[in-house]
Structure 1
Amino acid sequence: MLKRWNEDAFRANLSGRPDLRINRDRYEGRTRLLGKIRTKLLLSGERGQPADRGTLNGVSVLDVQLQEGDVWHLLDSPLLENEVQGEVDDVIRTDHAAQHTAQHVISAILQDEFQIKTVSFRTGTEESTLDLDLGDWDETLQSRLEERLRTVIQANLLITATEYTEEEALQLPLRKTPQVTGKIRVVQIGELDYSACGGTHLASTSELELILFTGLEKVRGNIRLAYVAKDRAFRLLTTERRVLTETARAVSAKKIRSILLWKT
C-alpha cells in the first residue's frame, strides 16, 4: 500500500496560523492559492517527478510548485473559504511513485552491476527517461538489465523513507552526496539502494510489477533510455497487442481478397 506524502489530513485555519496565508491572484487565467503549510498534503513538482493532483475544498488542483520556499497551488476555480480540506488523487500519485521507484531501481542496477551512472532523469506524464553516462547501448546489455529487473521485482524488497541527521545520513552507503543539509530523507530499497530523495515511492519492489523500455536515443553524448512501469507498462502491452491483432486481421483479409480476385 502506498504511503501518503503526509500522514496528517491537510486541514488548516488560515486566519489562525501565522505560517499560513492565501494569495488569490490570477495566473494565466487560473487562480493561484499560496499556502505556506507545515503539513503538506500535495507533493510539489521539484523532485524530478510531476506534482501531485487532487482537490482543495473540492476544487481541482492543476499544479503544485515550490517557489522560494512558498508552495503554490494552481486551482481550476477560485477558492473562497478560509478553511481548507485537501484530498490527493491516489491513482496519479501511485503512478508517479511507480515511475520514480523504477528510476531508483534501474539506476542502482546499472551503476552497481554495469558501472553506468545516471546523469539525470525525468518522470513524464506518458513515459520517463534516464540519461546515462554511456556512449553505446546494445541488446545484450538491455537483456541483462531486464533480467535483473525481473529478479528485483520478484524479490519484493522493502522500500522505506527515513529522516536522518546530516551526520547519520553520511554514515550510510548513499548513492550520491546529499544536496541538502540538516535533516536528510533517505529512501532505502532493501540493500540495493540508499538515496537521499524527497519524492514519493512504492512500499516494495513487487509493487512495480513490470518495467518496459520504450525508447533509446543519443543526447549530448549520453544515452537516453525511456521506460514505463506498473500500470503504464500493462497499458502499453494491451495497446500493442490490440494493434498487432488488428494488423493481423487486416493482412489476413487482404490475402483472402487477393485470392478471391485471383480465382475470379
Structure 2
Amino acid sequence: MKTKRLYYTDSNLLSFKAKIVDVKKIENKHITILEKTAFYPTSGGQQHDVGLLQKIPVIDVIDGDEIQHITESAVGKVGEIVSGQIDYDRRLKNKQQHSAQHILSQSFYRLYNLVTMSVHLGDNYGNIEFDTKELSDDQLQKAEKLLNQVISENRKVEVIFANSNNVSKYNLRKPPKRSGEVRLIQIDDFECTACGGTHVNSTAEIQLIKIISTEKIRGRTAVYFLCGQQAIDD
C-alpha cells in the first residue's frame, strides 16, 4: 500500500491525523507507516521533515512506496489513528531552499545554458553542481541579480499535475524521468520542472538568495548559496 503524500498538494500543511498501517522495530528504532502523511522524506536532495507523532519526536523519514517515520519509542498500534505535527521552522527552511534552488538552476540555464547535475540542500547551505569547469565572478553577479529580481517580483509558485505524454506545453527545464502522472513545480513563466519536494507559494517568501562560494569538483562547478533568514543574517 502506497503512503498518500499530503505535502504533494499542500506544502503548508503542518498537522494531520492518519491511521497506522504497519509498525516495525529494528534494533532501538521504531518504524511507523501511515496511510497518509505530511512528513517529507529525504529525497531529491532535500532533507526530511522533523516533528511529532503522538507527541513522540520523529527523527528521520525514509522514502519509498511506504514512507517510514523513525522514532525512538513506539507511536502506536496498527489500526490506531494518530496525530502528526510538522516542525514549522524546518519546513519553512526546506521550502525556501528548494524553491531557491529551482530559481538558481533556471537562472544559470537561461544566462549560460548550464545544466544542473546534482543538488544538495543542507542545514547550513545549499549547493548545486553545474556542467561547467568554472564560473567567473561576473557570471555569478549577473546570476545573483537575476534570481533576486525574480524574488522581488513576488512570482506565483504552483503545483501542477500532468501526464508525462502531455508536458511539452509547460516549457520544462528538463524532461521528467518518470512516465504517467508527473508533479510539476511552476514559477510563473520563469521556471517549470518535475519535482516531488515542498515549496513556497510565492518567490517573495524566499526573501533573499546569496551566492557565497564556488568549488571545482568532478570536472564541474558547485555553487554554494544561502537563502531566507540565513542569507539576511550572513
TM above 0.5: yes
Q: Distance in 1 between matches of 2:205 and 2:183?
A: 21
Tell me if 1:64 matches 2:61. Answer: yes
Counterparts of 1:81-120 in structure 2, within 5 Å, are 81=77, 82-120=80-118
- How far the C-alpha of 1:94 sits from its partner, in A, is 0.8
CA offsets per residue over residues 226-246 of structure 1, 9 Å max, x none? 1110012123x2xxxxxxxxx
* 1:244 alignment partner in structure 2: none
Find the residue that maps to 1:171 and give its secondary structure: helix
Find the residue that maps to 1:22 and give its secondary structure: strand
Find the residue that maps to 2:59 and give its secondary structure: strand
Find the residue that maps to 1:227 and give its secondary structure: strand
* 1:10 alignment partner in structure 2: 16
Q: Distance in 2 between matches of 1:155 and 1:6?
A: 21
Amino acid at match of 1:32: I
Q: Is the 8 A contact 2:14 2:85 kept in 1?
A: no
Structure 1: runs of 5+ lacking an equivalent? 15-19, 238-264
- How far the C-alpha of 1:58 sits from its partner, in A, is 0.5
Q: Distance in 2 between matches of 1:157 and 1:13?
A: 37
Structure 2: runs of 5+ lacking an equivalent? 1-6
Q: Is the 8 A contact 1:64 1:74 kept in 2?
A: yes
* 1:73 alignment partner in structure 2: 69
* 2:22 alignment partner in structure 1: 21
* 2:3 alignment partner in structure 1: none
Q: Distance in 2 between matches of 1:94 and 1:164?
A: 26
* 1:34 alignment partner in structure 2: 33
Distance 1:83 1:43, change over 3 A: same
Q: Is the 8 A contact 1:30 1:76 kept in 2?
A: yes
Q: Is the 8 A contact 2:160 2:184 kept in 1?
A: yes
Q: Is the 8 A contact 1:49 1:96 kept in 2?
A: yes
Structure 1 or 2: larger strand share? 2
- How far the C-alpha of 1:6 sits from its partner, in A, is 7.6
Q: Which is worse superposed, 221-230 or 111-120?
A: 111-120
Question: Scaled by the length of structure 1, what TM-score is found?
Answer: 0.79
Amino acid at match of 2:42: G
Find the residue that maps to 1:102 and give its secondary structure: helix
Q: Is the 8 A contact 1:6 1:41 kept in 2?
A: no
- How far the C-alpha of 1:66 sits from its partner, in A, is 1.4
- How far the C-alpha of 1:73 sits from its partner, in A, is 0.8
Find the residue that maps to 2:101 and give its secondary structure: helix
Find the residue that maps to 2:154 and give its secondary structure: coil
* 1:164 alignment partner in structure 2: 162
Counterparts of 1:114-193 in structure 2, within 5 Å, are 114-193=112-191
Q: Which is worse superposed, 167-176 or 223-232?
A: 167-176
Q: Which has the higher contact order (CA 8 A, sep 6+)?
A: 2
- How far the C-alpha of 1:7 sits from its partner, in A, is 5.1
Q: Is the 8 A contact 2:162 2:182 kept in 1?
A: yes
Q: Which is worse superposed, 77-86 or 58-67?
A: 77-86
How large is the Cα RMSD of the aligned pairs?
Answer: 2.0
Structure 1 or 2: larger helix share? 1
Q: Is the 8 A contact 2:11 2:200 kept in 1?
A: no
